[in-house]
Homo-oligomer: A and B are copies of this chain.
Amino acid sequence: MKIVLDEFDHKILRLLTENSRLSYAEIGRKISLSQSATKERVQNLTDTGVIKSFTADIDYGLLGYSLKVIIHLKFKNDEFKIFIDHLKHFPEIISCKRITGEYCLIAECVLKDSAHLEHIIDRLLKFGIPSTSVQLSEIKANHFFRAQ
A contact residues vs B (CB 8 Å cutoff): 1-3, 5, 13, 16-21, 48-60, 62-65, 70, 84, 87, 91-101, 103, 105-107, 110, 133-148
Contacts and interface: CB of A to CB of B under 8 A. Distances in A.
A19 B54 contact: yes
Given A62-B1, A62-B3, A55 B97 contact: no
A31 B106 CA distance: 34
What is the copy number of this chain in the assembly?
2
A20 B91 contact: no
A21 B98 CA distance: 29
Contacts of A53: 18-19, 56-57
Given A48-B62, A139-B87, A94 B55 contact: no
B70 A138 contact: no
Given A70-B106, A101-B133, A55 B52 contact: no
17 contacts: A13-B58, A16-B56, A19-B55, A20-B54, A21-B21, A49-B59, A51-B56, A51-B57, A52-B59, A63-B147, A64-B148, A97-B137, A98-B135, A98-B137, A98-B139, A99-B134, A106-B133
